[in-house]
Structure 1
Amino acid sequence: MFCCLKSCMNGFTLTPSVPIRIKENPVQLDTLHMGHEMVIIKGGQRVCGSGCALGNAPLMQSKSYFEVKLQQGGVWAVGVATRDTDLNRVHGGMDKESWCLNSDGTVRHSNIELYHLAPAPRESPTADLLVSTESPTHENEKPESEKQANTAAIMPVEGDTIGVAYDHVELNFFLNGKNMEIPVSNIRGTVYPALYVDDGAILDVIFENFLYPPPSGFEKIMVEQSLL
C-alpha cells in the first residue's frame, strides 16, 4: 500500500504560498463511498489503492460524460455503478449493481461477460476492425443468441484516456476520443461514475475541461441544487 501511495502522490506536492481561493468542481470522487483500501487525492480527482470509488453526483441529466486517464497500469475498471455495489471488489461488473470496462479486456455486468476485447497491435491499420471469434468460456456467459457481438477494439493502455457517455439508454466507452463500439444497455437504478483499481493502477477522473470533445449533445455531469 505504501508503494502505491508513493506512486499515487507523484506530481502532487504541497508548497508554501499565499492562499488563493479556487472554485472547486463540486463533482469529484466520494470519500464516503469507496472501498476500505482506497486512496483518493488531488481534490477528489485521483484514485489508487485497492477497490472501488464512486463519484459524488449521480448521472441524472439526459446525456452525461466524463473521462478517466490511465496514469499507471495495473488492474483497473471504469464505468458506472449504483451505491449498492460492492466497493471492496477490484473488478467492475462483478455484481448486478455495476457496468464496467475492465483492464482484462472484458465489459461486464452481474459477472456476465458482455464483450471481450481481443488485444491488437496499435501499429496495425486494421487493429480496430478485427473481430474476436473466441468461444464463450465463462459459466455465466450469455448464450450466442443473446450475446452482443464481440469487438476487438484496441484496449486502453497507460497514458490513454477513456471517455464514458451515458444517456439512460446506452453506456458507451471512448478511447482517446474514438467510440469503442461496445454499447451497454438495460442499465437500471441511479448510477454514479465508478473507478476500480488494484495492483498499482492509478486513475485520474476528469469531470470538466475534457481532453477530448464529448459526443454531440453530451455534457459534464451537472449537480442538482439539492446536492450542493
Structure 2
Amino acid sequence: MFSCFGCMKKLMWGEGYENAPMEVAVQPSVEIDTGNIGTDVVVVKQGKRICGTGGALACAPIAQDKAYFEIKIQSSGVWAVGLATKLYSPQDQLGHCRESWALQQGGELMHNGAEIGKVSEGIEEGDVVGCSYDHVQLCFYRNGSLLNSFITGIKGSVYPAFYVDDGATIDTIFTCFNHPPPAGFSEVMIEQDIL
C-alpha cells in the first residue's frame, strides 16, 4: 500500500518528488499596527515594544469570546493599557475619550476622561499587567494576580490598546505569556485563525 502512495506522488510531482518543497502555512501574529500609532510613538523589538509619546493599537480586533494579552513595564512614566475602537485617535491619552477604556499607571480605570474605578495595588517598573476580555468585562492582573476592579459597558469591535509618555516604555505580549491566562482565555487571534 505504501508503494502505491509513492506512485501517486510520482504521478503528481514527477521524478524527485521526495525533494518537492512542502508549503507550511505561517499564521499571522498579532503585533502593534505601525499604521495606527501616535506621531511621536516609537515601535521597536519586532513590533512588540513602544516608547515615546502617544497611543497604539494592535493589528487585530478581539474577535473570539475570551481573549488575553499582557504588557511588561520596562520603564516607568505615564502609561495605560486597555481597549479601544478603531476610531480612537492615538494622539489622545488612552481612556480619555469615548473610544477607549484603560488602566493607567496610577491604578485609575478610565473611560471618556472620567475615572470609573481604581485598583488598590500599586503597579511598578518590572511588573507584568495582564488583560482579559470576554465582551462583558475587561479585567486586569498584576504579575498573575487578579486586581480588584474591572471595566464593563464596552461597546463595539475593540482592539488591544496602549499609551506611553514621560519616559515610559512597555513591551506588548500577545503570545508566550509571563503568566497563564485565566481558565478559558487565550491569546488574541487574527480572525482567520478562529475559523
| TM-score > 0.5, shorter chain as reference | yes
Contact 2:106-2:123 at 8 Å conserved across structures: no
1:102 corresponds in structure 2 to 104
Contact 2:28-2:190 at 8 Å conserved across structures: no
SS in 2 for 1:182: strand
RMSD: 1.6
- The structure 2 residue matched to 1:169, chosen from 136, 141, 145, is 136
- The structure 1 residue matched to 2:162, chosen from 195, 215, 218, is 195
Whole-angstrom distance in 2 between the partners of 1:48 and 1:64: 24
The answer to whether structure 1 residue 114 and structure 2 residue 143 are counterparts is: no
Percent identical pairs in the alignment equals: 44
SS in 1 for 2:149: coil
Structure 2 length as normaliser, TM-score? 0.83
Aligned residues: 169
Give the structure with the higher percent strand: 2
Contact 2:51-2:170 at 8 Å conserved across structures: yes
Whole-angstrom distance in 2 between the partners of 1:171 and 1:25: 25
Structure 1 length as normaliser, TM-score? 0.71
The answer to whether structure 1 residue 158 and structure 2 residue 161 are counterparts is: no
1:28 corresponds in structure 2 to 31
Contact 2:51-2:168 at 8 Å conserved across structures: yes
Measured against aligned partners, the alpha-carbon deviations of 1:59-84 in whole angstroms (never above 9, x if no partner) come to 11000000000000000001110111
Q: How do residues 118-137 of structure 1 correspond to structure 2 at under 5 angstroms?
A: none
Measured against aligned partners, the alpha-carbon deviations of 1:71-117 in whole angstroms (never above 9, x if no partner) come to 0000000111011112112x321011000001133110011111134
Q: Report how far residue 177 of structure 1 moved.
A: 0.4
Pair member with larger Rg: 2
Give the structure with the higher percent helix: 2
1:148 corresponds in structure 2 to none
Whole-angstrom distance in 2 between the partners of 1:92 and 1:38: 13
Q: Report how far residue 25 of structure 1 moved.
A: 5.6
SS in 1 for 2:56: strand
Q: Report how far residue 24 of structure 1 moved.
A: 8.1
